[in-house]
Structure 1
Amino acid sequence: MSTSTSANGWRHAVQESVSGLPRAFWWLWTSTLVNRLGAFVATFMALYLTIERGYSASFAGLVAALYGLGGAVSSIGAGVLTDRLGRRPTMLVAQASTAVLVAVLAFVQHPVAIAGVALLVGMAASGSRPAVQAMMADIVAPKDRVRAFSLNYWAINIGFAFSSIGAGFIAEYSYRAGFLIEAVMTMACAILVFVKLPESRPDRAPDVAGKAAEPSVNLGTVLRDGRFMGLVGLSILIGLIFQQGSVALPVAMGADGFSSGDFGLAIGVNGVLIVLLQIPVSRFIQHRGPGKLLVVSALLAGYGFGLTAFAGSLWLYALTVAVWTLAEVVNAPVQMGLVVRLSPTHGRGRYQGVYSLSWSVGSLAAPLIGGRVIDAYGAAWLWGGCAVVGTVTAVGYWLLMRGLPEEEGEEEREAGPEAVSGPPEREVPADRAS
């Protein structure tokens, strides 16, 4: 095959992956990219506190935990606001608040103040997630949602890769400058949302009596949705596995005599593969059922980390990272598409909030579990445990998908100033409506 033919084939694949999505999606995608390009706090908070401020590693861990706790707390509230106030107002409040609080964090010095502001930053930074995901579900046609979530996940990782590199150089000059740059970028994201994105929350269709035809949705409705809460539980398990890449992997590699630079090279495989594979993988999974894809992703995640027990060289560590990265590339968009499919149209914010909470719980629990297992039994037991959890999660996905009806076609509707696709997946059963 000639080089020109290969290039033409690659261009055709890219065009098919990005074509046909509404303009509003691309503004939302751009806001995600801008937001992630400015990421600094979450990546360099521990180094800032220990190196710049001279605090202990324990205090840095406490602040990181408070940051994560803030995200867990805000997930539910942001989901409710997404349904009540709308997607756009929730994003604007969350992003503007994040910008202000990150700027404040650059100047506070008292440890109690740092801890308190970090908690608030965590709350604000996570506050826009349910709104972003709900808006994406509103404006993208059902047949294109997995592809859209793949592209959005791609933007997150492109932004993270470049921000991590840039933030490393900025930190050598000034940590405070890094915080202020994040504040400016986050405010730019809020301005972009304000200028370019219309509200997408669907209006309730009135019945003949003038009342809403769809039953209302509250948090009780979400918590009583057995299939969805099963997905949330499986999301926590898969999150516990993936988080070990940043929690336990550096500890295990350090114990084996590898340097922080070696870990950087190994974990860098994750970012590079996501950037390279997300588009072709999204084309592959776009029209395939979620059940088998989720089962395979769970097995790849579990056994990818399980193989780490046998890694004795840098290239073997990199190989294990490649295996579970493929699982991540498949799992993230497919699971997000399933969340939307299981969510009633007028409860998308609350459903997305509870789903976001599952990842926050995984992020909080992973360091505690991983560290405890390594200290008590050794890293090999942790990697074996990941394989077991991956197997359990795969079985859980298989059971969850049994009896799930095929997704029905949905008609276009008007949302905001643009015609966008995003009609309801299903109604809330009367016995689960409040």
Structure 2
Amino acid sequence: MRGLRRWWDDTAGGLPATFWYLWSGLLINRAGAFAMLFLSLYLTAARGASPSLAGLVVGAYGAGGAAGTLLGGVLADRWGRRSTLLAAHLAAAGLMVALAFSRHLAVIAVLAALVGLAHSMPSPAFVAAIVDVVPEARRSRAFNLQFWAFNLGMAVASLLAGVLAEASFLALFLVDAAATLAAAVVIALKVPETLTRRPAVTLRAVAGRRPGLHTALTDRTFLTFVGLTFLLAVLTMQTSTIMPLAMRTDGLRPSAYGLVVALGGALIVVGQLFVPRLIEPYRKSTVLAVSTGLMALGFGALTVADGLPLYLGAAVVWTVGQMLAAPPNAQINADLAPPELRARYQSVFYLTFPAASFVAPALGGLSLQHLGERHWLVVGALGLVAAAGHLLAGPPRERRVAALRAAAQRSETVSAGH
């Protein structure tokens, strides 16, 4: 019992109550966000859309998501985290109800884009609020729990979506809306505003310019990190875009693909809570280099995979890499963001994922077609490039973080003086 309590203290102890309410809202949000997983099936089966038209509507959802990420970051820094989270959740719930009862494809396409906008707005605000309330020494654990909640919620969403889609598409959308509204209620009742207004001297002290969204888009140190994260995201997207095609080429059934994906999800749900204590003694850049190296090894191994056991073994390797990468990746992103631009930096960071979801299938499909199994050597090489990049970029990142901390202390001194 004493060992279990020590493990829990190391994993989640010392985190403020507001974090746990944010965590609960995120878990409810992810567990309920299942309707859009079946949007293409709904369009073709219930609305008579062609596969190409269904693809365009799903693409509209993705485009709305990219815009929503930036909008959410700007609003979270201007309005506040709580206001942005409430507005996004309430808008998403209302739009989902409208989508449930819409019949015309043009209206559905517009609503899908707006739902994408509303679904993506909370991400920067959630992370910025976590950084606001969690002490720096505990942030790695907080981000680890956030990643765990996200994956647990997605696993629940996948199970619920299949059951509800078979019963009723109307129920699929309405239950999604109800879950989103439940998350909004948790935030409204339990999450205070975490944004602290302060003199905007941090960025001026470091970069000598007035802070804004353009600051994140021209911050070379930050953009280098974003680029390396983009490579990691491209690797991660292989599991949902190119790997199913490779497994089909190897004569494996869809159930085999489902087993590989389920194994990865199960490993994260079971093992993610043990990651913080494992990586705590090491520098973040070293952990990220090792994690991306493991992902490179896992995906590179698919070059010789021709049966389910090898795919399952490779999945274990790259999933461990993903698990190790999650906490330091999120923490570095938080460390590089000046306090007054915290959510804006998060929004630029989160753009890597829709970008990777476009690049991975677009270029990966061509690569698999022309290179065959050698495609996985290219993917492995990208992972090794990212690993080397983290080792090289680590020292400049650490110097930048030190400068930001010094500037933040000067900002607090100015605030105290007033």
- In structure 1, the residue matched to 2:142 is 148
- 1:230-256 per-residue CA deviation (whole Å, 9 max, x = no partner) reads 111111111111011011111211222
| Cα distance change, pair 88–63 in 1 and its aligned pair in 2 (3 A) | same
Cα contact 1:98–1:186 (8 A) shared by 2: yes
Question: In the TM superposition, what are the counterparts of 1:23-102 in structure 2 within 5 Å?
Answer: 23-102=17-96
Q: 1:425 aligns with which of 398, 405, 414?
A: 405
Distance 2:177 2:405 in 1: 37
**Identical residues among aligned pairs (%):** 38
Cα contact 2:289–2:388 (8 A) shared by 1: yes
- In structure 1, the residue matched to 2:413 is none
Q: Which amino acid aligns with 2:294?
A: L
Q: 2:261 aligns with which of 267, 272, 275?
A: 267
Q: Which amino acid aligns with 1:349?
A: A
Q: In the alignment, does 2:329 pair up with 1:349? A: no
Q: Which amino acid aligns with 2:95?
A: L
TM-score by length of 2: 0.91
- In structure 2, the residue matched to 1:388 is 381
Number of residue pairs matched by the alignment: 404
Distance 1:162 1:299 in 2: 30
Distance 1:408 1:217 in 2: 17
Cα contact 1:262–1:314 (8 A) shared by 2: yes
Distance 1:206 1:114 in 2: 42
Q: Which amino acid aligns with 2:56?
A: L
Distance 2:361 2:92 in 1: 25
- In structure 1, the residue matched to 2:415 is none
Cα contact 1:35–1:185 (8 A) shared by 2: yes
Distance 1:128 1:427 in 2: 28
Q: 1:105 aligns with which of 99, 105, 111?
A: 99
Distance 2:293 2:359 in 1: 21
Distance 2:7 2:200 in 1: 43
- 1:63-105 per-residue CA deviation (whole Å, 9 max, x = no partner) reads 2222221111121221111111111111111111111112222
Q: In the TM superposition, what is the alpha-carbon distance from 1:287 to its structure 2 partner? A: 4.4
RMSD of equivalent CA atoms? 2.3
TM-score by length of 1: 0.88
Question: In the TM superposition, what are the counterparts of 1:88-237 in structure 2 within 5 Å?
Answer: 88-205=82-199, 216-237=210-231
| Cα distance change, pair 367–60 in 1 and its aligned pair in 2 (3 A) | farther
- 1:170-219 per-residue CA deviation (whole Å, 9 max, x = no partner) reads 11111221111010100111111111000011221599xxxx99974202
Q: 1:329 aligns with which of 323, 331, 354?
A: 323
Q: In the alignment, does 2:218 pair up with 1:238? A: no
Q: 1:13 aligns with which of 4, 7, 11?
A: 7
Q: In the TM superposition, what is the alpha-carbon distance from 1:261 to its structure 2 partner? A: 1.4
Q: In the TM superposition, what is the alpha-carbon distance from 1:166 to its structure 2 partner? A: 1.8
| Cα distance change, pair 306–339 in 1 and its aligned pair in 2 (3 A) | same
- Greater mean alpha carbon deviation, residues 177-186 or residues 246-255: 246-255
| Cα distance change, pair 47–426 in 1 and its aligned pair in 2 (3 A) | farther
Distance 2:291 2:48 in 1: 41
Q: 2:286 aligns with which of 283, 292, 305?
A: 292
Q: Which amino acid aligns with 1:427?
A: A
Cα contact 2:250–2:307 (8 A) shared by 1: no
Distance 1:425 1:364 in 2: 36
Cα contact 2:77–2:342 (8 A) shared by 1: yes
Q: In the alignment, does 2:296 pair up with 1:316? A: no
- Greater mean alpha carbon deviation, residues 26-35 or residues 155-164: 155-164
Q: Which has the higher helix share?
A: 2
- Greater mean alpha carbon deviation, residues 182-191 or residues 297-306: 297-306
Cα contact 2:200–2:340 (8 A) shared by 1: no
Q: Secondary structure at the match of 2:14?
A: coil
Distance 1:307 1:133 in 2: 34
Gaps of 5+ in 1: 1-6, 410-423, 429-434
Gaps of 5+ in 2: 409-418
Cα contact 1:345–1:425 (8 A) shared by 2: no
Q: Which amino acid aligns with 2:387?
A: A
Cα contact 1:206–1:213 (8 A) shared by 2: no
Q: In the TM superposition, what is the alpha-carbon distance from 1:54 to its structure 2 partner? A: 3.6
- 1:331-358 per-residue CA deviation (whole Å, 9 max, x = no partner) reads 1221110011111111101101110112
| Cα distance change, pair 391–156 in 1 and its aligned pair in 2 (3 A) | same
Q: Which amino acid aligns with 1:109?
A: R
- In structure 2, the residue matched to 1:249 is 243
Q: Which amino acid aligns with 1:73?
A: A
Cα contact 2:34–2:160 (8 A) shared by 1: no
Distance 1:77 1:374 in 2: 35
Cα contact 2:221–2:397 (8 A) shared by 1: no
Cα contact 1:40–1:164 (8 A) shared by 2: yes
Q: Secondary structure at the match of 1:405?
A: helix
